[in-house]
Amino acid sequence: MTTFQRSYDAMGSRFSVRLDLWPNSDSSTPINSGETEALLTQLEEKTEQLEQSLSRFRQDSELMTLINSMDQWTTPSPHMEEVLKIAEAAMDLTACAFDPRILPRLEEIGYAGAAFNNSFHQSEPSSCDPAKVFHRNEHGEIKLVTPIDLGGIGKGYTADCLAEMIESAVSPFNLAGYIIDAGGDLVVSGCQHSGDPWNIGIENPLNPSTLSAVASPVGNYGQKTALCTSSLWRNAWVHEGKKVHHLIDPATGSPVETQLYSVTALADSAATAEVVTKYILLRGFRDAPLWRDYTPRCLWITKTGNIHMNADMEPFIVWLATD
């Protein structure tokens, strides 16, 4: 057996992991099916651990504990510490277009999670300053300043962590490649056991049962990349008679109004790709520090169904839908 797969529900999404191993030949490290299945179980358990830390939908999660004790100093777990640092960096790079402080507004328009103490709620973030999200004391303890949502960046971070676990556990002589799908946040490495490349379908947001494009995100054996898609149709509902969605513009406090329907981006990590897609949906390609650190490789689809991509994305698209 050279292909191992596992699917499970986590973080409000469907996760799936596929490992492709080279067929046994002269390898000094033969495939052990039992060990590989055990690794898949460990990946599922790691996802559960990260959900317990980062979720705003679990009353007893680490995040909700921080939110409901914002007057107390707390030592964060290593994963929480790292995700908060990633969130801080994303705020800086996007001039706060990415802003985890939108949680209270999400609650107000009906995207409710676990209950939290509204007495700590700062209804209007006072500035675009990561220090306004949490404080840190000289002991390394933190306390939040306002409720935050780690949402998509948490899923991206989880996919990145699972990729690191796979690469640490499986011999490079055996590992042909893998694909991790964390509810649309993908990390892809290598190739299939047959030697064929990974081809990833990009959903048509106007007709989700069809594809708008197919991407082959990994150019050479041993490479790893992330592919993430953010769209406005998946998390949409009606609030007070008006259709709304989950992508809040921090500048207005309301769901963003844009002619874009979905954005797909490639990046070195799923957390980065997640931030990039959200930024483009919110601000397009408006100048920001983000573009000094990241060369856009993006495909975007408008509400009228038009498909666009930049030149750096073109080499990775192997099929494009035509009218």
- Which of 64, 31, 18 lies closest to 159 in space, CA to CA? 18
Distance between CA atoms of 286 and 291, rounded to whole angstroms?
A: 9
pLDDT at 30: 61
* Tokens 């993006």, located at residue: 298
pLDDT at 60: 95
Q: Compute CA distances 170 → 21, 23, 136, whole Å.
A: 9, 14, 37
pLDDT at 222: 60
CATH class of 62-149: mainly alpha
Return the DSSP state at 196: P
Superfamily holding 199-323? ApbE-like domains (3.10.520.10)
pLDDT at 123: 47
Distance between CA atoms of 20 and 13, rounded to whole angstroms?
A: 23
- Which of 143, 142, 179 lies closest to 159 in space, CA to CA? 179
Compute the Cα dihedral for 88, 107, 180, 225 and give only its sign: negative
Question: Which residues on neighbouring strands pair with residue 186, listed in sequence order?
Answer: 181, 227
Flag residues of the chain having pLDDT under 50: 123
- Which of 204, 180, 167, 209 lies closest to 271 in space, CA to CA? 180
pLDDT at 267: 95
Secondary structure of residue 276 in the 3-state scheme: helix
Question: Which residues on neighbouring strands pair with residue 230, listed in sequence order?
Answer: 263
Contact residues for 148 (Cβ-Cβ < 8 A; gap 6+): 63, 67, 87, 100, 101, 103, 133, 134
Q: Are strands 254-255 and 248-249 parallel, antiparallel or unpaired?
A: antiparallel
Each domain of the chain, given as residue ranges in start order, spans: 62-149, 199-323
Distance between CA atoms of 18 and 16, rounded to whole angstroms?
A: 7
For residue 264, what is the enclosing H or E element? strand 260-267
Return the DSSP state at 94: T
Q: In the chain, where do the E strands start and end? A: 3-10, 13-21, 134-136, 142-144, 175-182, 185-190, 200-203, 211-215, 224-231, 236-239, 242-245, 248-249, 254-255, 260-267, 298-302, 307-309, 317-320
